[in-house]
Amino acid sequence: MADEKIVIGSETKYPLNGILTIPNEMNGSVPAVVLVHGSGPSNMDGKVGNNFLFKEFANGLSEKGIAVLRYDKRTFVYGKEMKNDTGLSVKEETIEDAILAANFLRNDSRIDSTKIFIIGHSFGGMLAPRIDAEGGNFAGIIIMAGSPRKLEEILMDQNYDVINSLNKLLKIIAKKQVAALSSKFDNIYNLSDDEAQSTKVLGKNLRAYYFKEMGEHPSSHYLKDLDKPVLIMQGEKDVQSTVERDFEVYKNLLDGKPNATFKLYPNLNHLFMPSIYGEILKVQKEYKVAQNIDRQVINDICEWILSV
């Protein structure tokens, strides 16, 4: 395979370095995927702890004849400039660049423009249907460890999961803190955009508008009307998105739709790597252990893409 250094959005305010991985053997144009990051700043390799999720995808998929485009997330490169933007939303953080990446691939004669797919991991999986609808225009959508829930619901559920794993004294303290956060989320959809932009809800900079804007464009809104192929993938031991709260909800949402395929993997975590601890309090410790994506996951993605 060949790794080519590229730039996404070279004519914009936020150019991003990336890599296009092209298969060695090509008989005519090849299918391609755009990789979309999870939450938080992340580099083009999708580095999480000592694991490199996107680099592994690029190597694994290109070996099977599929080109892969990955790039630094905008907040990874321009986080300091963006943190004071009160109107920051997922559109600026993620969506615009994913659409630029798809268009970049369409302008490459080696790529089959009718076979460009999106793989969204975690937060990127939540946004993938919206990215497609707002200009990505992909041949199919792959959602890995995503969620049909709203972001604030996920955060609150994760907080409650943490509380339930604490001892009695810490549980009392944590419950008060979580209740205070919950009260901030309760009112965000009653705020005007201006009010939401001036209301801080998390940390020093994250404002209600970020959650409100995303919550007003739920993935379920796009998925229920979707008729193009969609692949939903989930690790059974994932403690960040879960089988019960997310994977099963996707299945119910897309029940009876012939375009939807579901894959559940025993003993795999949020990174589709073997689960070590299986506890939400130990996820960072788990990600410090260098592992590899389960090979079956790569094979299933390749098989699905090549069958579309």
Q: Active site residue: 238, 246, 275, 294, which one?
A: 238
Q: Give CA separation, 239 vs 4, 125, 126, 154, 271, in Å.
A: 35, 16, 16, 11, 11
pLDDT at position 28 over 90: no
Burial class for 76, CB neighbours closer than 10 Å (0-12, 13-18, 19+): middle
Do residues 144 and 121 lie in contact, with contact meaning Cβ atoms separated by under 8 Å?
yes
Q: Which CATH number applies to 2-148+218-307: 3.40.640.10, 3.20.20.60, 3.40.50.300, 3.40.50.1820?
A: 3.40.50.1820
Instruction: Give the Cα separation of 307 and 288 in Å (integer).
Output: 35
* Residues 93-119: b if buried by 16+ CB within 10 A, e if exposed: bbbbbbbbbbbbbeebeebbeebbbbb
Mean pLDDT of the chain, nearest integer: 93
Read off the pLDDT band of 247 (50, 70, 90).
very high
pTM of the model: 0.94
Mean pLDDT to the nearest integer, 63-86:
95
Question: What is the CB neighbour count within 10 angstroms for residue 32?
Answer: 30
Residue 122 falls in the annotated catalytic set:
yes
Which uninterrupted H or E stretch holds 274?
A: none
Query: What's the confidence (pLDDT) of residue 181?
Result: 75
* Least reliable range by pLDDT among 12-21, 147-156, 163-172: 163-172
Residue 238 falls in the annotated catalytic set:
yes
Instruction: Give the Cα separation of 60 and 246 in Å (integer).
Output: 26
What is the C-alpha end-to-end distance of the chain, expressed in Å? 23
pLDDT at position 159 over 80: no
Query: What's the confidence (pLDDT) of residue 294?
Result: 98
Mean pLDDT to the nearest integer, 184-203:
90
Name the amino acid, one letter, at 40.
G
49, 40, 42: which is closest to 16 by C-alpha?
42
Q: Dump pLDDT digits (tens) for 251-290.
A: 999 999 999 999 999 999 999 999 999 988 899 999 999 9
Mean pLDDT to the nearest integer, 203-211:
88
Read off the pLDDT band of 115 (50, 70, 90).
very high
Instruction: Give the Cα separation of 209 and 137 in Å (integer).
Output: 26
Domain residues of the chain, as ranges?
A: 2-148+218-307, 151-205
Q: Active site residue: 122, 147, 241, 275, which one?
A: 122
Q: Active site residue: 39, 219, 270, 275, which one?
A: 270
Mean pLDDT to the nearest integer, 191-210:
90
